[in-house]
Structure 1
Amino acid sequence: MRFMPLPGHQSNSYITLAEHGDVLVVGFKTRLLNDEENIEQLGQELFSLVEQANWLKLVLDLTNVEYLTSSVLGKLITLHRKLHRSQGKMVLFGLSEGVDSILRTSNLLTYFAVAENRDAAIAQLTS
């Protein structure tokens, strides 16, 4: 696995990137994704992975995230749609109880592909 900088890298980025073949594993640096300014930057960073860097297989590692707002859910749905339109795919893993509950309440556990761990998520995208 190779770690890499973001396209148009910003030193105060909210995500980390690790390349695993043709799959990009995206980690989140903050536990609480709830500040509007941060959410806008987070969305721009995530969307640039598809729109500028042309990644089509994303694994989102939510291990460090304890809470998501509806704005963050909107960004994840938009990212999923951008990938889908480009014939790409996205898998989530590392859901905390709080994140799992939010996704379940929002009926998004069936919308997003979810895996038990990083290896299973990568396997879903490479099989």
Structure 2
Amino acid sequence: MSTFRRVKLSESGSVTVVTFADSKIIDEEEIQELGQELFDLVEREERKKIVLNFSNVEFLSSAALGKLISFEKKVKNHRAELILTNIRPEIYEVFAITKLTKLFKIKDDEADALAVL
């Protein structure tokens, strides 16, 4: 199993719950590292059901959003499932404005996400 610095993992049955370690995801190096950790979940560890829990995240840069979009494509390519949860209203607004609410499955909280995976 890989070592993760930018995310914390927990398991709920067959679902991997990913919680972000950083409250502000803005530094380019950290975003690259975060992206690699997320990609490793589907590429190396072959996890098929992933919940990204944003409860710790206060701010996301546009580069971080780009990385999430790349991750979503990778998840689809590996025939895995991804749900985002616990997104703060001000961050959700960015998802809505950029039409990312159509790309990502988003649930209010972790329990809702786990219920559909």
User: What are the Cα deviations for residues 84-127 of structure 1, in whole angstroms up to 9, with x where unaligned?
Assistant: 111111000101122111111111012100111111101121xx
Aligned equivalent of 1:60? 52
Q: Which amino acid aligns with 1:124?
A: V
Match of 1:25 among 17, 22, 41: 17
User: What are the Cα deviations for residues 51-88 of structure 1, in whole angstroms up to 9, with x where unaligned?
Assistant: 00000110000011011111111111111111111111
- Partner Cα distance (1:77, 1:56) in 2: 17
Deviation >6 Å, runs of 4+: none
Count of residue pairs brought into register by the alignment = 117
Q: Where do 5+ consecutive residues of structure 1 fail to align?
A: 1-6
Amino-acid identity (%): 34
- Check whether the contact 1:68–1:102 (CA below 8 A) recurs between aligned residues: no
Within 5 A, what are the aligned runs for 1:97-116? 97-116=89-108
Shift of residue 26, structure 1, vs aligned partner:
0.1
Higher share of residues assigned helix: 2
Task: Report the TM-score when normalising by structure 2.
Answer: 0.95
Tell which has more relative contact order, 1 or 2 (C-alpha 8 A, sep 6+). Answer: 2
- Partner Cα distance (2:50, 2:2) in 1: 18
Q: Where do 5+ consecutive residues of structure 2 fail to align?
A: none
Q: Is residue 8 of structure 1 aligned with residue 5 of structure 2?
A: no
- Partner Cα distance (1:49, 1:26) in 2: 10
Shift of residue 8, structure 1, vs aligned partner:
2.5
